[in-house]
Amino acid sequence: MNARFSPGDRVRVREWYPPGHVRTPYYVRGKRGEIERVCGTFNNPERLAYGRADDPKMLYRVRFTQDEVWGRSERPGDTIDIEIYEHWLEPEV
């Protein structure tokens, strides 16, 4: 499986709210960040949670600034890295 994004790419997390076992935290939906690394291919937890190991997805670590996520920070430049599956990411426009 080819990775759509590479380290350093700017991305935005999709702002959608599907039901079920979703591993994308609410606090980061719609936020912009940068690909920190490509983690490899893993089963989509949204299907795996229901016993269906049939939907491999590329997984990334995405780095966000605290300012972007919360609109404030304890110190500019502090960050939070989060693992996000490819179908949750789109290129930043």
The Cα 43–Cα 74 span in angstroms is 36
Q: Does 4 bind another protein (CB under 8 A)?
A: no
CB nearer to another protein: pick between 43 and 93: 43
The Cα 58–Cα 23 span in angstroms is 14
Binding mask 45-64 for another protein (x = CB under 8 A): x-------------x-x---
Binding mask 22-41 for another protein (x = CB under 8 A): -xxx-x-----------xx-
- The full DSSP string for 6-66 is -TT-EEEE-----SSS--S-GGGTT-EEEEEEEEEEEE-HHHHTTT----EEEEEEEEEEH
Q: Does 80 bind another protein (CB under 8 A)?
A: yes
Which residues sit at the interface with another protein, rule CB under 8 A? Answer: 23-25, 27, 39-40, 42, 45, 59, 61, 66, 69-70, 74-75, 77-85
